Amino acid sequence: MIRTKMAKIAALTVGMTFVFGLAANTASAQTVADIQAQINALMAQLAALSGGSTVSGSFTQDLTVGSTGSQVVALQQMLVAQGHLSMPAGVAMGYFGSLTKAAVARWQASVGISPAAGYFGPISRARVNGMGGTVPGTTVGGSTSGGVITTPGVEGTLTVSKNPSPASGVKVYEGDTKKAVLGIKLEAKTSDIKVERIKLDLDETGNTATADSAFYNKVASRIYVMDGSTVLGSADLNSSTVVDESGEISITISGFGYVVPKDSTRVLTIAVDAKSSWDAAYDGDTWTVGVATDGVRGVDGAGVNQYGPSASGAFLNTFTSEGELAESATLAIATASDSPVTGQNIASQGSGENELDGLTVLKFTARAEKDDVTITDAVVSITRGGAGVATATTAYLYDGSTLVGSATVAGTSATAMSATFSDIDYLVPVNTTKTLTVKLDIDSAAAAADTFLASVAATTGITAERSTGDAVSETGSATGETQYVRNAGPIFTLKSANVTYTPAQGGVSAATSTAKATFVIGITAVGGDIVFGTQSASSTFNIATFKGSTKTVFVNGSTTNFVIPSSGVITTGLLSTDAFKLAENQSVDVTVDVIFPGRLTTGALLSTDAYSWGVQSILWSNSASPYSLQESNFMDNKTSWRTSSITLP
């Protein structure tokens, strides 16, 4: 294998000697460009076979314009192999001139040496010497930057088109760096294609009174060609680098030698650095970056220039210049997904056993966009309903278990109350969502239920500022679910809700199908003993039927039953044999069944539809004799207290 490879290298060397001689002696058979293309192709093959451009020893001296000798030859051989240098026909290597300086600058830009000034000094020498005597192409994103073409002598084609990402219309803010504004898709066919330059058209389209030159004078300071996060080439945007032809401006970025392998597709991104600030007059202006006809030039394996896009394929993207990103900072408020659902809460604390401290009434999220946002003040609105006896005295704002602030509730004797959390200085970092919890201390609860509903409106309830101290735009709102509060009563939880279907025997038309909804309800007595079942089963446990999502009443002989728990309850000394008493602080599970026929009492079949069943209210009493009935109806119309659907009849 080594012997074969060395033979190929020797043959190529002979071939190169022949071509050089031909270049010196032949004037008419071939053009100089043809001969140079052959030289370049042979140099590329030699570099590919040897694993890179051979460097004799290490570079030991700095090289610049005027330098001569073997190290200049080695440097020029490396630059030719990587496609940065094209030696004129008949010109011997060994003198460092302006062409070599420009080629060194292109190589420096391709490997990230800055500034790319064309001076081959200590940094450049260290970079090459550290490569162990060869200068291979640098792999970038699956292609090669500054690499060699692996298809020498083969002609190819280059197709250039617009990549869908980034999309047109992105916003570029003051101080943005490497903001992607345009994607270029490159497709090589038959041969590798080394892309060496991209010409970009720049324009201002949003304001006819704004000159195109404002693109680089006012808005953008630098432009990049990038492969992913790797910079292949870049240029400052100023009057020296931008070409202005009758008001049409463009810039050409070259010297990066990006190889697209044959029969493959690669994407390059055009990005810009925005100036640190600009006049507010340019906020909202629209600018374009585009690739005109033949704006991309590459070289194939035969040394032939390939161009794209075609005249009909020129493309561009727009972007909008905006003020400093922080200037458009926002804070969005929303109800948290784990905000507590409506429920019954028992206030059994304090000497009067009618207080409840720290009742959670609302959880809401706050999300900061485009800058850190500090909430300085927050106002929570509280609506009281029901018996109108219990009062909310103190409100708390928590981040998890950390107290953010506390406030006295204003208007405790009114229906509408509020709590103002002042000077809390709560930080929401940029692109972060925080969850805050509102809790209330409740006093003077009674047997009849009071209700409390908390809400926060961003525009009227939240005062916030961005990192500079300026106000931000707040959006959204958050509203909790109604919380019921009593001084004694049961705590209900739905353990399960299932439905089963029994088809009619002999067919629906001949008999009756039935549905059976079964609920398992957990009950805990708090603040005193609780009595259940003093009314009929259907009155004690009010179960509604839903046709689709609509609560519907049917006359079809449905029955409701519940099973008195076999233990943990008291059944003696009650006025009804179907009743049971649950002692204070005791818990039981009660099973409730609803049998629902698929026919009305008239004999007619139910209309075919999806049916489900849900608990709407539960009757109970906190005295054994006489009964003083109370109703818990917080679960009314709540899907969380409903079975799944089945089709009847």
Q: pLDDT-based confidence at 124, cuts 50/70/90? A: confident
pLDDT band at 459 (very low <50, low <70, confident <90, very high): confident
Helices (H), 435-482: 458-461
Statement: residue 262 has pLDDT above 90? yes
Residue 362 phi/psi, 5-degree rounding, is -165, 140
Among 52-66, 207-221, 249-263, 324-338, the range of highest mean pLDDT:
249-263
Please determine, for residue 404, whether its predicted confidence score (pLDDT) is greater than 90: yes
Q: Same CATH fold, 330-486 and 157-323?
A: no
Q: How confident is the model at residue 212 (pLDDT cuts 50, 70, 90)?
A: confident
* Res 4: pLDDT: 38
Name the superfamily (CATH) of residues 2-136.
PGBD-like superfamily/PGBD (1.10.101.10)
**pLDDT tens column, 177-186:** 999 999 999 9
Give the pLDDT score at 25.
45
pLDDT at 15 over 50: no
Question: Domain locations in the chain?
Answer: 2-136, 157-323, 330-486, 489-648
How far apart, in Å, are the Cα atoms of 413 and each of 361, 393, 450?
19, 10, 12
Please, what is the end-to-end C-alpha distance for the chain in angstroms? 82
Our CA dihedral for 148, 150, 155, 156, rounded to 10 degrees, sits at: -90
Span 530-575, pLDDT tens digits: 999 888 888 999 999 999 999 999 988 899 999 999 999 999 888 7
DSSP readout, 144-165?
Answer: EES---SSTT---EEEEEEESS
Higher pLDDT, 464 or 17: 464
Q: Domain 489-648 adopts which CATH fold?
A: Immunoglobulin-like (2.60.40)
User: Mean pLDDT over residues 402-417, rounded?
Assistant: 89
- pLDDT of 209 higher than 60: no
Locate 491 and state its tokens.
């705590």
Most confident of 237-241, 406-410, 413-417, 553-557: 406-410
Query: Taking the complete model, does pTM exceed 0.85, yes or no?
Result: no
Please give the CATH topology (third level) of the domain spanning 157-323: Jelly Rolls (2.60.120)
| pLDDT at residue 415 greater than cutoff 50 | yes
Of the pLDDT bands very low, low, confident and very high (cuts 50, 70, 90), residue 173 is: confident
For 643, the token pair is 């079975």
581 Cβ contact list (under 8 Å, min separation 6): 529, 530, 531, 532, 569, 570, 571, 573, 574, 624
pLDDT winner (highest mean) among 431-445, 497-511, 610-624: 431-445
Give the right CATH number for 330-486 from 2.60.40, 3.40.50, 1.10.150, 1.20.1070: 2.60.40
Average pLDDT of 21-44?
46
The residue type found at 202 is L
Confidence label for 245 from pLDDT (cuts 50, 70 and 90): confident
With 70 as the cut, is the pLDDT of residue 93 above it? yes
Does residue 126 contact residue 160 with C-beta atoms inside 8 Å?
Answer: no
What would the mean pLDDT of 67-94 be, rounded to a whole number?
83
Q: Which amino acid is at 372?
A: D
Q: Half-sphere exposure (CA, 13 Å, Cβ side) for 86?
A: 15
pLDDT higher at 582 or 510:
582
For the residues 83-89, what does the mean pLDDT come to?
80
* pLDDT at site 492: 95
